[in-house]
């Protein structure tokens, strides 16, 4: 397994593009992205469990109910959520894409991100999609990654190369996500492509399993978006034997998928709105995987923990507090806590009680850009990792006038 360039265009048969078409007010930012597979591909997706869902999610779910798709279109600047004509806009968008690509509308995945409840017009799509399709290229992955950004400050893309049946396979992805991130069965917006031959059922299985330990373990601000979606296209052009059941080939594919999703998780966490530090919470010694995940996610989502990390304050009591209300079955008298970064490691709590430690060293450790919160529960053998960021003044500034 090795990382390669290309993002969603690393895999055979995929092209992408991104343009400005007039959805956003800021003309310097792209707002429409397209990913296209040369051949029809197996498709899988997971969606937000928020009861308020963007119209594109409902359309996409219907379109890939047969397990296949050939393209993904996504706009930024308007979430197409809580709009009276939202479903109509999403369906018309798919039809416009299909007409240009000479495919069926049902083979188009559609997604939107941006402000909720804003009226939307089909006009920018009608004028922009021909230009978008004309710009498709194998070098267009970064343009697509840029076009789906909202408050993101950096593009998020990654790809890996690996072998199946002696065939070189590729799997790549792009993501957007900076705020309103506390996923439940999905995340922000993530689009993944691969040239692996895999059945729709196995692709859906792999994705559904993966998000439980990847995207569902990210929290920026405790808000679950209305438009969260992860979609995967697998076009089979690598030529490996079709993966139709569990076994070594599926294990290899899932390892590659997880390599990409975890990398995107870290990029999303590091680019949280207003963030100055990326936090990674590693929990070990839990009774089972569920308890480990509950503890890790509770710590990473704690506003008080996040604030302490912003101030480089080794206030480990807030970590214990978050463990205590996590809902996990934990014996707090066994819990150890430490903080670690490139500046070193400082142990701050053993067996549920404070210990002497150097405040100077702690300050140095917590002043770095990437910080590990290490928790040992001493109750079993299960572990989990969650990702997030610190909570800064800038988060409030960004969201205080996000709409206006």
- Residue 157's domain is classified under what CATH number? 3.60.70.12
Band of the pLDDT at 237, cuts 50, 70, 90? very high
Q: What percent of the chain has pLDDT over 90?
A: 84
Kindly state the average pLDDT of the residues 316-330: 97
Q: Which are the contacts of 319, defined by CB distance < 8 A and separation ≥ 6?
A: 299, 302, 305, 337, 349, 373, 375
State CA 193 to chain mean position distance.
Answer: 14
pLDDT of 117 above 80 = yes
Q: Are 205 and 245 in contact (CB under 8 A)?
A: no
pLDDT of 404 above 70 = no
Whole domain around residue 284: which residue ranges? 278-400
* Alpha carbons 119 and 83: distance in angstroms, whole number: 6
Least confident of 116-125, 216-225, 270-279, 287-296: 216-225
Same domain, 340 and 252: no
Same domain, 265 and 291: no
Domains identified in the chain, total number? 2
The enclosing domain of 357 has a CATH number of 3.10.20.340
Question: Is 0.85 topped by the overall pTM?
Answer: yes
* Alpha carbons 34 and 133: distance in angstroms, whole number: 8
Q: Are 120 and 89 in contact (CB under 8 A)?
A: yes
Place of tokens 């990702």: 387
| Phi, psi at 85, each rounded to 5° | -105, 25
Strand 2-4 to 189-194 pairing = unpaired
Closest listed residue to residue 34, CA positions, set 54, 16, 7, 9: 16
What average pLDDT does the structure give for the chain?
94
Amino acid 160: pLDDT: 98
* Alpha carbons 214 and 34: distance in angstroms, whole number: 25
Distances (CA, A) of 105 to 102, 113, 125, 170, 301: 9, 20, 15, 27, 39
Boundary-marking domain end, from 222, 249, 270: 270
User: 288: exposed, middle or buried (C-beta count within 10 Å: 0-12, 13-18, 19+)?
Assistant: middle
Q: Which are the contacts of 266, defined by CB distance < 8 A and separation ≥ 6?
A: 278, 280, 387
Same domain, 87 and 28: yes
Cα torsion for 311, 157, 71, 204, to the nearest 10°?
-70
Same domain, 342 and 254: no
E strands, 235-277, in order: none
Which has more pLDDT, 183 or 208? 208
Same domain, 65 and 157: yes
Boundary-marking domain end, from 250, 270, 290: 270
Same domain, 149 and 262: yes
* Alpha carbons 240 and 243: distance in angstroms, whole number: 8
187 an active-site residue? yes
Q: Any idea what the Cα angle at residue 62 is, between residues 58 and 64, rounded to 5°?
A: 120
Least confident of 36-50, 139-153, 219-233: 219-233
Amino acid 298: pLDDT: 97
Same domain, 108 and 128: yes
Q: Are 376 and 352 in contact (CB under 8 A)?
A: no
Task: State the maximum Cα–Cα separation within the chain, in Å, rounded to a whole number.
Answer: 68
Same domain, 184 and 300: no
Q: Are 238 and 170 in contact (CB under 8 A)?
A: yes
Q: What percent of the chain has pLDDT over 70?
A: 97
Boundary-marking domain end, from 270, 293, 319: 270
* Alpha carbons 312 and 307: distance in angstroms, whole number: 9
Same domain, 119 and 184: yes
Point out the catalytic residue in the list 60, 93, 187, 194.
Answer: 187
* Alpha carbons 60 and 313: distance in angstroms, whole number: 45
Amino acid 186: pLDDT: 52
Same domain, 210 and 76: yes
* Alpha carbons 107 and 71: distance in angstroms, whole number: 7
Same domain, 220 and 168: yes
pLDDT of 65 above 80 = yes
pLDDT of 402 above 80 = no
The SS3 assignment for 196 reads coil
| Phi, psi at 6, each rounded to 5° | 115, -20
Same domain, 18 and 58: yes
């Amino acid at each position: 397994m090795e990382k390669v360039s290309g993002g969603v265009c690393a895999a055979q048969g995929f092209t992408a593009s991104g343009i400005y078409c007039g959805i956003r007010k800021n003309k310097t930012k792209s707002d429409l992205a397209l990913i296209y597979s040369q051949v029809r591909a197996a498709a899988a997706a997971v969606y937000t469990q928020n009861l308020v869902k963007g119209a594109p999610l409902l359309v996409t779910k219907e379109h890939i109910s047969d397990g296949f798709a050939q393209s993904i279109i996504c706009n930024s600047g308007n979430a197409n959520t809580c709009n009276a004509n939202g479903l109509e806009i999403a369906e018309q968008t798919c039809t416009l894409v299909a007409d240009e690509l000479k495919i069926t509308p049902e083979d188009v995945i559609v997604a939107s991100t941006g402000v909720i409840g804003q009226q939307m017009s089909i006009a920018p799509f009608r004028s922009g999609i021909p230009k978008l399709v004309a710009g498709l290229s194998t070098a267009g992955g970064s343009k697509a990654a840029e076009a789906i950004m909202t408050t993101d400050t950096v593009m998020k893309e990654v790809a890996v190369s690996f072998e199946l049946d002696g065939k070189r396979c590729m799997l790549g992805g792009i993501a957007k996500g900076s705020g309103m991130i506390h996923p439940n069965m999905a995340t922000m917006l993530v689009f993944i492509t691969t040239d692996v031959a895999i059945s729709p059922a196995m692709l859906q299985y792999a994705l559904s399993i993966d998000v439980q330990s990847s995207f569902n373990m990210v929290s920026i601000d405790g808000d679950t978006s209305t438009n969260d979606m992860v979609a995967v296209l697998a076009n089979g052009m690598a030529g490996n034997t079709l993966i139709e059941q569990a076994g070594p080939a599926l294990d290899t594919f899932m390892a590659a998928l997880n390599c990409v999703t975890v990398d995107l998780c870290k990029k999303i966490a590091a680019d949280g709105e207003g963030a100055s530090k990326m936090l990674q919470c590693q929990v070990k010694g839990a009774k089972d995987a569920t308890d480990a995940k509950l503890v890790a996610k509770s710590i990473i989502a704690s506003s008080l923990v996040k604030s302490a990390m912003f101030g480089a304050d080794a206030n480990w009591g807030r970590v214990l507090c978050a463990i205590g209300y996590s809902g996990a079955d934990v014996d707090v008298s066994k819990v150890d806590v430490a903080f670690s970064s490139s500046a070193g490691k400082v142990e701050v709590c053993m067996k549920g009680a404070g210990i002497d430690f150097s405040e100077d060293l702690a300050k140095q450790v917590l002043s770095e850009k990437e910080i590990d919160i290490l928790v040992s529960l001493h109750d079993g053998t299960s572990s989990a990792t969650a990702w997030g960021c610190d909570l800064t003044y800038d988060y409030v500034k960004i969201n205080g006038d996000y709409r206006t």
